[in-house]
A and B are shown apart, each in its own frame.
Chain A
Amino acid sequence: DQQVKQNSPSLSVQEGRISILNCDYTNSMFDYFLWYKKYPAEGPTFLISISSIKDKNEDGRFTVFLNKSAKHLSLHIVPSQPGDSAVYFCAASETYGQNFVFGPGTRLSVLP
């Protein structure tokens, strides 16, 4: 049973538009969430994180929103650039815990 779900395996967005990647989780004990980006033949690269005491965290073009009641978070990329094309993983842990649980990833394609 997947505790972290990313129900969209892929997403295509036009350059300059907003990309919205979604993540749902089932474990109510999760309270720290991260987004990673992965290019082919490379390890995942940390993008942005959010703890449960916040509902929004912003870093440049990247914003993560957390809705604890819905057990849902999303990553917004504005404006999207072709270099953002990659697989994006959502990960969650309990109280900055050691065992991060990853979702299956969403492949984002930003079209020029």
Chain B
Amino acid sequence: DTGVSQDPRHKITKRGQNVTFRCDPISEHNRLYWYRQTLGQGPEFLTYFQNEAQLEKSRLLSDRFSAERPKGSFSTLEIQRTEQGDSAMYLCASSSPQPLETQYFGPGTRLLVL
């Protein structure tokens, strides 16, 4: 297994455009998380899936953000009508609950909104 992968690694877009990111978790992991990280800060939790069910969403996740995990495997994070404040690193992590939950992160997608 090659770990958590994310695509694309970098995305530059113009304000107002929609973008979609993909995350492929470690295959046996049933939990998948999305985080956002800005410069000088730690990752901030956005949302979390257990299998295909989205169980928790942060208040950071505005209506312009939507995440899916349709078959309980890969996940997508879409940002509609991007704003300059959306510029950040978007990190995906996966985990299984046993033994103790440890989240394994992908390399991230760096988004720049011009």
Segment touching B, from A12-20, A67-75, A77-85, A97-105: A97-105
Q: In the bound complex, do residue B107 and residue A105 qualify as a contact, i.e. CB atoms below 8 Å apart?
A: no
Contact with A along B12-41 (1 / 0, CB 8 A): 000000000000000000010101000011
- Compute how far the CA of A101 lies from the CA of B91 in the bound complex, rounded to whole angstroms: 14
Q: Give, as a whole number of angstroms, the nearest-CB distance from A98 to chain B.
A: 5
- Compute how far the CA of A101 lies from the CA of B50 in the bound complex, rounded to whole angstroms: 18
Q: Give, as a whole number of angstroms, the nearest-CB distance from A46 to chain B.
A: 5
Task: Collect the chain A residues with CB atoms within 8 Å of residue B107's CB.
Answer: 41-43
Q: In the bound complex, do residue B56 and residue A100 qualify as a contact, i.e. CB atoms below 8 Å apart?
A: no
Task: Collect the chain A residues with CB atoms within 8 Å of residue B44's CB.
Answer: 102
Task: Collect the chain B residues with CB atoms within 8 Å of residue A93's CB.
Answer: 101
- Compute how far the CA of A36 lies from the CA of B104 in the bound complex, rounded to whole angstroms: 10
Task: Collect the chain A residues with CB atoms within 8 Å of residue B70's CB.
Answer: none
On chain B, which size bracket covers the interface? 20 to 34
Q: In the bound complex, do residue A103 and residue B48 qualify as a contact, i.e. CB atoms below 8 Å apart?
A: no
Cβ-closest chain B residue relative to A38: B105
A-B contact pairs, 25 of them (CB 8 A): A4-B42, A32-B101, A34-B102, A41-B107, A43-B4, A43-B6, A43-B93, A45-B105, A46-B103, A46-B104, A91-B42, A93-B101, A96-B100, A98-B31, A98-B33, A98-B48, A98-B50, A98-B55, A99-B45, A101-B45, A102-B42, A104-B42, A105-B40, A105-B41, A105-B42
